[in-house]
Amino acid sequence: MRVPGLENPAPRASMPLGPSDAASGERRGVVSGKPIRGTIRLANGVQATGAVLFLIARTPNQPGPPLAVKRLSVGPFPLAFEIGPDDEMIKGRPWDGPIALSARVDSDGDPLTRTESEAIAELAEPVEPGAEGVVLELAPGSK
């Protein structure tokens, strides 16, 4: 006996992440660039204590969620990092540049809360995927 509304739903079709190239069958429009690598260090006289360190990659001047976020242990400093397509918040977004990077020590581990005493770092200029030797320097927070 069939009961309306209780049938198995039809399988959902998966949506491609961009148009395909007819010759190769590969998806165009989705970029999987290389990760960005560098070091997070402390400015002179700064002590970073807290639950976690958030490393954040954003597309400059684009509102909404960050492109990628990495949750790291605080220290020891200098701390080597790598952030890339594997760390994307929404899988399938293009990992192409420019990309703005920032880091923030968080005392309670909740990315939505901030205090003025937490150390922060922001790159002066965005970088391109594959950039190496990037340095983020944690300074006293004020944001």
Contact between residue 83 and residue 70 where contact means Cβ atoms under 8 Å apart: yes
If you ran DSSP here, which 8-state letter would residue 48 be given?
A: -
Once rounded to an integer, what is the mean pLDDT over residues 40-45?
Answer: 92
More confident residue, 60 or 45: 60
| Of the candidates 100, 98, 143, the residue with the CA atom closest to the CA atom of residue 120 | 143
Torsion, Cα of 75, 78, 83, 87 (10° steps): 0
| Predicted local confidence at residue 4, as pLDDT | 54
Contact between residue 110 and residue 89 where contact means Cβ atoms under 8 Å apart: no
| Predicted local confidence at residue 126, as pLDDT | 97
Mean pLDDT over each residue of the chain, to the nearest integer: 80
pLDDT surpassing 80 at residue 25: no
Percent of the chain clearing pLDDT 70 (strictly above): 74
Q: How far apart are CA 67 and CA 90, in angstroms?
A: 7
pLDDT digit string (tens) for 77-126? Answer: 999 999 999 999 998 889 999 999 999 998 777 776 677 778 899 999 99
66-75 long-range Cβ contacts below 8 angstroms, 24+ apart: 67/93, 67/95, 67/99, 68/95, 69/111, 72/40, 74/48, 74/49, 74/50, 74/105, 75/48
pLDDT surpassing 90 at residue 15: no
pLDDT digit string (tens) for 62-79? Answer: 899 999 999 999 889 999
